[in-house]
Chains A and B, each alone.
Chain A
Amino acid sequence: MAKPKVAFYWCASCGGCEEAVVDLAEDLLKVVDAVDIVLWPVALDFKRKDVEAMKDGAIAVSFINGAVRTEEQEEMVKLLRKKSGLVVAFGSCAHIGGIPGLANFWDRETIFERVYKDVPSVRNPEGIYPQQKTKVDGVELTLPEFYDTVYTLDQVINVDYYLPGCAPPPDLIMNAVTAILEGKLPDKGSVLAPDKSLCDTCPRKDSKPEKLSIKAIRRPHEVIADPEKCFLEEGIICLGPATRSGCGERCINANMPCRGCFGPTKGVRDQGAKMVSAIASILGVEDEDKVTEEEVESLVKQIDDPAGLFYMYSLPASMLRRKRMG
């Protein structure tokens, strides 16, 4: 029997997800043994035309990482959707937009202006920006369109499963691959990670006080965090309570608070809004009946850049999706 065909593709991403596949180490050999890789731009020399030549549904599963922010990415993921039985959104960017999704605080024009003109290391007095079409010596050159907005994969094509994480940890990848190969998959649309939030598995869980009230907010660079204590207890905002677990607590173990790369838990639509609610609920709540409106404002003001913090990974997947440009 022919081995199932598997494709890996990357869109707007950093390459970390590719590393994550390589990080399977010996297990990668098992995967390679069991499947037939038909597309993997970072490692193998297959082209778009090879995929186009396949029959619809010929690929058993496509693992697509990265968010969608260009015309080319949109075309490729639509092509892969057509050719694949299953599509797995691989990693934070495909799942919830990820770090590239922070570009949704701007639009194409403001990004181009910054990147191609205003950055101190760039000299571009004429203000020349990338064009979709340019004629050079009578020959028309084209570039794919750069969108105003970064999209999650499921905002562009139907996605069957999600493998969360920046990047997804090897154990979750192997579990997913094994489940696919054995045909033991959960309901379509599932996130292939535990349902509970990170606090469930956090090594500092027990240090968190039963009744937690944060008095002063501190940013990670302002303080050396106690490696045993719950970050929130120290006033360092940690997105763990609103973030799906399964990451292996890599950041926590490196003494850094969670920034939400696994996305919201099951049943939550907007991770950032949930975190807004939770943090505001426990921010300096002692004697709150005596707190004035102004004091509430100044408590809240302690949080610099709440949108950037609470939506660090999930802005494109949030209810608002992006900044509204005036």
Chain B
Amino acid sequence: MAERIGVYVCKCGPNIGDKVDVDAIVDDVKGIEGVATAKSHNLLCSADGLEFLKSEIEGEKLTRVVVAACTPKMYEQKLMRACEEAGLNPFLMQMTNIREQCAWVTPDKALATRKARSLVMAAINRAPLLEPIERKEIEVQADVLVVGGGVAGLEACLSLAQKGRKVYLVEKSPCIGGLAARFEEVYPTMECAPCMIAPELQEVLQKENIEVFTHSEVEETLGSFGNFSVKIRRKARYVSEEACIGCGACFEPCPVEVSNEYDEGLSKRKAIYVPFAGALPNVPVIDKDNCKRFKGEECRACEQACPFGAISFDDKDEVIERKVGAIILATGATLLDPKALPQYGYGKLDNVVTALQLERLNASNGPTGGKVLLKNGKEPKSIAFVFCVGRKEKEYCSGICCMYSIKLAHIMREKLPDAKLYCFYSDICVPKKEHQQWYDRVVDQGVEFIRSNGTVAVTADKGKLAVKHGTDSSGKTVSVDMVVLAPAVEPSSDIEKLAGILDTSRDDHGFFCEEHALMKPFATALEGVFAVGSCQGPKDIGDAVAQAGAAAGRVLSRLVPGEKLALEPMVAVVDEDLCSGCKTCILLCPYSAITRDKEKGTSVVDEALCRGCGTCVAACPSGAITAKQFTREQILAEIKGVAK
């Protein structure tokens, strides 16, 4: 059946009407094959105009509509709805912009009219080639996987669980709470961090619809937004979470002692241990790499000590499969190992510590019970804080080190009132509303700030540490008992593996890459996969929590139980009968929406992931991929119209 095209040219009052001879264009196009009717209207976007359009579609039994008016960015959606209300598939309307891109930029009426005519002709050429597009919806899973049990992960879990979503929290370490759980006080409120975070931890552990997998890792993810299938490896703990009551009777008899990574190597732990006092869940774990029994020795010390029979050396890794609709990555960050920067003497000189080590020394659940002590057991009489360790090498400012160093300086001032405190900085970064006050306060408290611009070098100096700063000629030296380094924040070590599993990209610094730095800083380019907290970039607790909340909100608004998910209608489609499986397209998709169907040997576009950019379409050497609403034939027809 031949198409019946209705052409409507809007005068937009005088905006187009005075600049373009609208009636001449209407007369010109009337005779064109397929054009059933052509009319002008004074203001198509008005209520009258929309009613007029609807009655025309119905009255003239139109199969295609061409609207020449303002930019489609203004009223295309409105006009499409009018078409839909009149029973015409909205994708059968072709708009062309004769206002912003014609009438308003072409003062000569004859030229503007000629240009408008060619734009209308192009739209008429294109119209018969338009195809109806049905808006697709898919069934979705509203449950969510959260990876990482730090503050960001906890916030995401609780926000989602609050609204009844089932949440699976996967944490690689034996306890949840992340770095924050190991701090004594946090800025800017100077609250006790364990007190602040404990209720959240309890709630996460107790909430019925949150399933917590500690000592676990994500092993595989398949599928896409709305329908992911994930495999979680729950590593053998060798201590039953059900039977153990956390009495700690098993620690004492264990004959093994190793460095405790949860105290930044400042204390020893046993091969059966909880990371630190108060770690949750309060269930020990056996460190298989160090346990004598797993090294072939006949040791049952812990098993014999356990009054509840909670220890089982036969425990095996379990792979658990769960279906989720979205994935929130909150795997956090760690600090750059300052050993890579020998000028600071870290790892070689005693009493050169990282800020995290000082956090542990300062923590009441830490190795010294909260006493800040030198290696020789004495209190330091002077401490130098060195900011920006590794900033130059990393080429980014971590943004949080100034403030946590200021916090630590403040705590040291209170703890060691007579100690001399120095801060060696390059630039002070205290951007938030409370931070400047803290800076001013520690300055008032007699902490000396010295601008060293990254020139600090630490050497041994008769039982003390010499902190040299400044260039060689003008270099000065300060002698201190302890040096506290503030190294650059970098993504945690497992991020690379996780990025590989999810096929999501990382930025130049190794953090997860956000979809848009400003508008979608919490989402990755993979639809339904979010990256929040410090795994997306260095962040303090408040920012990490805010970002987690934003991602949780996005999940809650898009994945609703019982509601289907509307997919992008203008997606790419592979014609199986034409695709030869040359694989040119697969690498090109920025959203990993193209995969290879191994059985058919062709490429397949996942409509839930495709956003319709058409990059693959342009690349396909055999013309087997089509972009809906931007097909090759449609665009060629439009070009023919405008090129003349």
Q: Which residues of A contact B (CB under 8 A)?
A: 195-200, 205, 208-213, 240-242, 245, 264-268, 274-275, 277-278, 281-282, 285
Cβ of B111 within 8 Å of any chain A Cβ, yes or no, is no
The answer on a CB contact under 8 Å between A211 and B623 is no
> In the complex, A275 Cα to B584 Cα: how many Å?
11
The answer on a CB contact under 8 Å between A198 and B621 is no
A267 in contact with B623 given A196-B578, A277-B618 (CB within 8 Å): yes
The answer on a CB contact under 8 Å between A196 and B623 is no
Cβ of B566 within 8 Å of any chain A Cβ, yes or no, is no
The answer on a CB contact under 8 Å between A200 and B584 is no
The answer on a CB contact under 8 Å between B582 and A240 is yes
Cβ of B586 within 8 Å of any chain A Cβ, yes or no, is yes
Of the residues B586, B618, B621, contact of A241 by C-beta under 8 Å: B621
> In the complex, A112 Cα to B583 Cα: how many Å?
44
The answer on a CB contact under 8 Å between A265 and B583 is no
Q: Which residues of B contact A274 (CB under 8 A)?
A: 620-623
In the assembled complex, the CB of A210 is this many whole angstroms from the nearest CB of chain B, namely 6
Contact residues of B between 572 and 602, Cβ < 8 Å to A: 577-584, 586-588, 596, 601
Q: Which of B578, B579, B601 has the most CB of A within 10 A?
A: B578
Cβ of B249 within 8 Å of any chain A Cβ, yes or no, is no
In the assembled complex, the CB of A239 is this many whole angstroms from the nearest CB of chain B, namely 8
The answer on a CB contact under 8 Å between A213 and B587 is yes
The answer on a CB contact under 8 Å between B587 and A205 is no
The answer on a CB contact under 8 Å between B623 and A266 is yes
The answer on a CB contact under 8 Å between A197 and B587 is no
Q: Which residues of A contact B620 (CB under 8 A)?
A: 274, 278
> In the complex, A268 Cα to B632 Cα: how many Å?
9
Q: Which residues of B contact A264 (CB under 8 A)?
A: 622-623
Of the residues B578, B582, B588, B601, contact of A266 by C-beta under 8 Å: B578
The answer on a CB contact under 8 Å between A281 and B577 is no
The answer on a CB contact under 8 Å between B582 and A199 is yes
The answer on a CB contact under 8 Å between A210 and B582 is no
The answer on a CB contact under 8 Å between A208 and B618 is no
| Additional pairs, 10, CB under 8 Å, beyond known A266-B578, A281-B618 | A197-B622, A200-B580, A200-B601, A209-B583, A211-B587, A240-B582, A274-B620, A277-B619, A277-B621, A278-B584
**Which single residue of chain B is at the shortest CB-CB distance from A239?**
B621
In the assembled complex, the CB of A266 is this many whole angstroms from the nearest CB of chain B, namely 6
In the assembled complex, the CB of A197 is this many whole angstroms from the nearest CB of chain B, namely 4
The answer on a CB contact under 8 Å between B583 and A268 is no
Q: Which residues of B contact A213 (CB under 8 A)?
A: 587
**Interface residue total, chain B, C-beta cutoff 8 A:** 22
**Which single residue of chain B is at the shortest CB-CB distance from A267?**
B623
The answer on a CB contact under 8 Å between A196 and B580 is yes
Of the residues A212, A242, A265, A285, contact of B578 by C-beta under 8 Å: A265
The answer on a CB contact under 8 Å between B619 and A208 is no
**Which single residue of chain A is at the shortest CB-CB distance from B579?**
A196
> In the complex, A209 Cα to B584 Cα: how many Å?
10
Q: Which residues of B contact A (CB under 8 A)?
A: 577-584, 586-588, 596, 601, 615, 618-624, 632
In the assembled complex, the CB of B348 is this many whole angstroms from the nearest CB of chain A, namely 36
In the assembled complex, the CB of B619 is this many whole angstroms from the nearest CB of chain A, namely 4
> In the complex, A199 Cα to B584 Cα: how many Å?
11
> In the complex, A212 Cα to B584 Cα: how many Å?
7
In the assembled complex, the CB of B479 is this many whole angstroms from the nearest CB of chain A, namely 45
The answer on a CB contact under 8 Å between A268 and B580 is no
Q: Which residues of A contact B583 (CB under 8 A)?
A: 199, 208-212
The answer on a CB contact under 8 Å between A195 and B577 is yes
Of the residues A205, A209, A211, A278, contact of B621 by C-beta under 8 Å: A278
The answer on a CB contact under 8 Å between A282 and B580 is no
The answer on a CB contact under 8 Å between B623 and A281 is no
The answer on a CB contact under 8 Å between A267 and B578 is yes
The answer on a CB contact under 8 Å between B621 and A285 is no
16 pairs of residues in contact across A and B, judged by CB atoms under 8 Å: A196-B580, A205-B581, A205-B601, A211-B587, A212-B583, A241-B580, A265-B580, A266-B578, A266-B623, A267-B624, A268-B621, A268-B622, A274-B622, A278-B584, A278-B621, A281-B588
The answer on a CB contact under 8 Å between A197 and B580 is yes
Q: Which residues of B contact A197 (CB under 8 A)?
A: 580, 582, 621-622
Q: Which residues of B contact A267 (CB under 8 A)?
A: 578, 622-624, 632
Q: Which residues of B contact A241 (CB under 8 A)?
A: 580, 582, 584, 621-622
In the assembled complex, the CB of B66 is this many whole angstroms from the nearest CB of chain A, namely 25
In the assembled complex, the CB of A199 is this many whole angstroms from the nearest CB of chain B, namely 4
The 4 nearest A-B residue pairs measured at CB: A200-B580, A242-B621, A199-B582, A278-B621
The answer on a CB contact under 8 Å between B581 and A199 is yes
In the assembled complex, the CB of B216 is this many whole angstroms from the nearest CB of chain A, namely 29
In the assembled complex, the CB of B444 is this many whole angstroms from the nearest CB of chain A, namely 46
Q: Which residues of A contact B588 (CB under 8 A)?
A: 281-282, 285
**Which single residue of chain A is at the shortest CB-CB distance from B617?**
A277
A210 in contact with B578 given A265-B623, A268-B622 (CB within 8 Å): no
> In the complex, A281 Cα to B577 Cα: how many Å?
23
> In the complex, A274 Cα to B582 Cα: how many Å?
13
Q: Which residues of A contact B586 (CB under 8 A)?
A: 210-212
**Which single residue of chain A is at the shortest CB-CB distance from B577?**
A195
> In the complex, A242 Cα to B624 Cα: how many Å?
10
**Which single residue of chain A is at the shortest CB-CB distance from B584?**
A278
In the assembled complex, the CB of B496 is this many whole angstroms from the nearest CB of chain A, namely 16
> In the complex, A281 Cα to B618 Cα: how many Å?
9
> In the complex, A275 Cα to B618 Cα: how many Å?
10
In the assembled complex, the CB of B499 is this many whole angstroms from the nearest CB of chain A, namely 15
The answer on a CB contact under 8 Å between A282 and B584 is yes
Q: Which residues of B contact A242 (CB under 8 A)?
A: 621-622
> In the complex, A275 Cα to B620 Cα: how many Å?
9
In the assembled complex, the CB of A252 is this many whole angstroms from the nearest CB of chain B, namely 13
> In the complex, A285 Cα to B620 Cα: how many Å?
16
A285 in contact with B587 given A268-B622, A268-B623 (CB within 8 Å): yes
Q: Which residues of A contact B632 (CB under 8 A)?
A: 267
The answer on a CB contact under 8 Å between B621 and A275 is yes
Of the residues B584, B615, B618, B622, contact of A265 by C-beta under 8 Å: B622
Q: Which residues of B contact A240 (CB under 8 A)?
A: 582
In the assembled complex, the CB of A235 is this many whole angstroms from the nearest CB of chain B, namely 15
Q: Which residues of B contact A275 (CB under 8 A)?
A: 621
> In the complex, A303 Cα to B621 Cα: how many Å?
18
The answer on a CB contact under 8 Å between B622 and A210 is no
The answer on a CB contact under 8 Å between A245 and B587 is no
In the assembled complex, the CB of B589 is this many whole angstroms from the nearest CB of chain A, namely 10
A208 in contact with B587 given A266-B623, A277-B618 (CB within 8 Å): no
In the assembled complex, the CB of B622 is this many whole angstroms from the nearest CB of chain A, namely 4
The answer on a CB contact under 8 Å between A281 and B584 is yes
